Every structure is written in C-alpha cells, then in structure tokens.
Structure 1
Amino acid sequence: MKWDPAKYVKFDDHRNRPFFDLTGRIHADRPARVVDLGCGPGNLTAALAERWPGAQVVGLDSSAEMLAKAAPLAQAVPALRFEHADIAEWMPTGETDVVVSNAALQWVPGHQDLMRRWLKALRPGSWFAMQVPGNFNAPSHSLMRELAASGRWAARLGGVLRGGESVGEPADYLGILLDAGCAADAWETSYQQVLQGPDPVLEWVRGTALRPVMAVLGDDDARNFEEEYAAALRAAYPQGAHGTVYPFRRIFAVGRKEE
C-alpha cells in the first residue's frame, strides 16, 4: 500500500496543528536522542530538530515514498536522519529521551501493547507523546465502511477497512502511561476544519483513510467507488457559505517516566 506524499501534505495546515498541540506538552530540556515514529514526509520531524538542535533526531517510516520526500531535509541538518522501519518492530535504545508518534499508531494493530513495551524499555526521565485520529465513527469513515460492505463491493473489500477498534479512548492511553510509572496527561480535541474546493472531504481522505480501498481496486473500480462515496459525503458534509466544515476529533497522550 503506497503513500502519496503530495496528497498527504495538501492539507498540511490542518494536519500539522495536532502535532504542535501534542509536542507543546513535552517539556524535555536537552534530550540527546529524539525518535519520531511514523515520520511521513519528514517536515514535522525537522521541526523537532529545530526545537532541540543538540539532539540526534531520527524519523522512522515504512513508506519508501515518504522517506524519499524526507531525505533532502536530512541533508540540510546533520543531526537529523530518516530510516526505513516498521514501527511495530521498533524498540527504544537506552539513550532515547523523547519518543513522538503523530497520527501513525492507528495503522498498527495491537499498538497499545506496543506502547506498554516501549514504555517499559524507556529510561526514567524520558518522554513519550502520541496522537491518533478519533474519528473512525464519523460519517467520513462510517460511510466508507458501509459502502465497502454493500453488495457491489463486499466481496473485494470485506475486512479491508478497520473501525473504531483501531484506536483507544483518551482514558485508555492515560491508563497505559500511568501504569508505566509516568506523570501523564491525556485529552481530546475536535477541530472544526473548514475545507475549500469541490468534494474536499473526499480529497482529505484520499490522502489517508481511503488508501486501503484504492490499494485493492483497479483504476475503473476505484473511480466508481469514489463516485458513490463522494455523493454520500456531499450529503453528510454540505458546503456552506464559507466552505465545508469537517469536524475532526483527535486523541492525545503525553507522559514523562518518573525517575
């Protein structure tokens, strides 16, 4: 399943804001090593290198397309690098001080157990911060699943899309951090995003949630699926005088492991 970096960063103002809301709660002073799990095109990982210029900052991602987009950033910043890796197989090293995962763990089944293992391995005084979308039951996602399960598409798309089980609630992540001996904070924010242009919600999900469907269907079927889905989205998210309001719930958790 390939990522399209250009499609992903099309709404970068909206996509980037949760990252800065998340990392603003990290109060690490002079970390030696900072890891960004699921770094995507690398622009936000570079922001971590700017914030902590004395740190070695590493971005990990499983997408070759995203890493190709990120590579020039590392050439400009000696302490910044990007590596191809499956974050489900990653473990922190002893010198890791800050771990950030922004809008990535929803793609990893069993990530809550992974978090427990990561937190156990992190040294005292280190920070862990994560953010995942909490909108799997919003119309943008439920309508996609309903269409995928309908008669025309069920045989090919059955089991392709995950639902609300993809992520936990804020209390779930808070409990994981507290159980690991962290001073922790967890919260949620619903951003009222105003999108512009024709079928903007469809354009948004093309960069993320719709990718598993497009990876299965051929070009003609993909167009037909999108046409049906777009009609449902227009009814669910009507365009107003100022654009199309697309509410987006995000779930955050930050913790510092007690010394």
Structure 2
Amino acid sequence: MHSDTARAVRPPHDTDQDEKTPKATGPAPTWDPQQYLRHAGHRARPFLDLLARIPALPAEPGRPARIADLGCGPGNVTALLTDRWPDARITGFDLSPEMLQRATEEYAGPTAGGGSLDFAHADLADWVPEETYDLIVSNAALQWVPNHPGSFAAWINGLRPGGTFAFQIPGNFTAPSHALLHALCDAPRWRSRLGGHGARYTHLLEPAEYMDRFTGLGCAVDVWETTYYQLLTGTDPVLDWVKGTALRPVLTALGDDRVAVDAFLGEYRDLLRGAYPPGPRGTVFPFRRIFAIARKEA
C-alpha cells in the first residue's frame, strides 16, 4: 500500500453512528518508509496483478508513454512500471516528505529503457493533471482520499483518448484488524485523543459502485476484487503490518508520548493476537483488495 497522498481526514456522513463518533483531526500521518517496506513483497503483489490487466496505451512510436503514479510511496512499486513501459516518462506523486525522499534517492533518474522516473509533491485531495497522460495509476492510496470518486471526471479528462486510469485499494476495513482498531480508538481511555482515528475508510465504494462511476463517464471498465491469504511470519506480524499503514495516523496523533504509544500498542497487540492466532508456519492474514481499470474512449 502506498503512503498518504492526501489529507488523512474522515469524510462527513449522515448516519447516527457517525454523529456519535468524533471526527479524526490533526496533521497528516508521518510515514516510515523502512517500516512500510518490511512487507514489500505482499504489498507489491496486488499492483502486479493490476498491471497485468492494464490494456495497451495510446502511446505511439517516437512518443513514449506519459505515466502518473498517484501515491507513489517509497517508489519501489512505481519503478515496476518501467518493466512494462521501459521508455516511458513516469512521475510519482506523494504528499509524504519521508516517502518522496526515499523514492528520489533510490529510483529517480534515467531508466534502462531510455525513459525517466521522477517524483513530485502532490495532495490527491486537489490534484488535477497539468498535462495529458496515457496512464494514471494508483496503488493503495485512494483510501486516504475521502473525495476521490469526485475526482474521477477530472482524472479521466486528463487522459489521452484511449488512455487508462487504473487503481487498487484495500477493501478490508471491516476485518478484525481495522474493526478492533476502531473500537480501541473509541474506548474510554483513548477516545479524547484518538476518537475517530480508527474509522477513516467509510467513504470507500464497493466494486459495483466504482463500475457505475466509470461507465457513467463513458469508459470501458474492468472491476474485480481479490482476497489474498497472506502468511506473515515473526512476532506479532499483523501488528507489524499495520504499523506501516493503518496505525500511522494513530501514532502521529500520540506523537512523542512514549508511555501512551507503548500502552496503546500493547492493548492493540493483545486484541490482534486473539483475532489472528499464529499457526505452525506463520499467521494467516486475509486481505481483500478492490481493483478498477477505466479506459477512456479512443
């Protein structure tokens, strides 16, 4: 999953439950590229599956493909685009200074196929294409963008005829890993500091709803979902996984209060141990992902 390319805020909803739940506020999460990359293999697999289904781009001989990666994170997944389009000009966009620094240091510059790879600061909450792209792609970033369906028209408009917008996002926000985090953040001990931080993802749509949005924009659409059964190893591996993603807003909110951080992580760890007991070869962590590919009319 990519880093927070958008303001990590919880969108408003008109439900009784949301009226009872404090809205998460505060600065965007601070990201730790090293922690995120501890599970790089599992995190990259959905992007590779997405990449395999993207149709041919409208780029022509003498005009290399122009590609934008929204929510590039530490750049390791962005670099995979050069395998499919070796001469493309690729820009990864992200909000996190920590992620952009890592991506630039590791991957920016000319590519082996004669293309280029660079990285730029952007907030997906208000990002619009300033040039025309053959492909706009996003890997596990749009869950941080409450208004992202409202941007689809502008992003599709920024594609060449026959161009593609493709993304994948987590679809596991009712899973124990997130339900327990939500409940703990809203528990009496933590509610005043963390209330709402565990329920940031209620704005995500279901696959059929994404399909409806893109067909309404005149696109040819390919939408599907996959649940990956990931075998994680090590001590408290599910906690280690979420430290790189879902826990970032919580850890940012607790800041340098080590007593609070350790206490919260201890409580959450015990809950996760009950929900995801280890087996003889590791801990099974089911992870549902939602995929969408929208191709603009040629």
Query: What TM-score comes out, normalization by structure 2 length?
Result: 0.84
2:88 is aligned with 1:55: yes
**Contact 1:192/1:247 (8 A) holds in 2:** yes
* Structure 2 counterpart of 1:89, from 126, 129, 134: 126
1:138-217 aligned at under 5 Å gives the runs 138-217=175-254
Which residue number in structure 1 is paired with residue 144 of structure 2? 107
1:7-156 aligned at under 5 Å gives the runs 7-29=35-57, 30=59, 32-72=65-105, 73-77=107-111, 79-156=116-193
- Cα deviation code 1:74-114 (max 9, x no counterpart): 13536111011112222124421100011000001111111
2: CA distance, partners of 1:213 / 1:93: 34
> In the alignment, residue 273 of structure 2 is paired with which amino acid?
R
Moved more, 152-161 or 207-216: 152-161
Q: Which runs of 5+ in 1 are unaligned?
A: none
Q: Secondary structure at the match of 2:290?
A: strand
- Cα deviation code 1:43-91 (max 9, x no counterpart): 1111112321222100000111111111131135361110111122221
**Contact 1:137/1:164 (8 A) holds in 2:** no
2: CA distance, partners of 1:144 / 1:38: 24
Q: Secondary structure at the match of 2:252?
A: helix
2:279 is aligned with 1:240: yes
Q: Percent identity?
A: 52
Q: Secondary structure at the match of 2:289?
A: strand
2: CA distance, partners of 1:93 / 1:213: 34
RMSD: 1.4
Q: Which runs of 5+ in 2 are unaligned?
A: 1-28
Q: Secondary structure at the match of 2:109?
A: helix
2: CA distance, partners of 1:94 / 1:154: 44
The CA deviation at 1:27 is 1.6
Moved more, 174-183 or 96-105: 174-183
Q: What is the number of equivalent residue pairs in this alignment?
A: 259
The CA deviation at 1:159 is 2.2
Query: What TM-score comes out, normalization by structure 1 length?
Result: 0.96
1: CA distance, partners of 2:198 / 2:103: 28
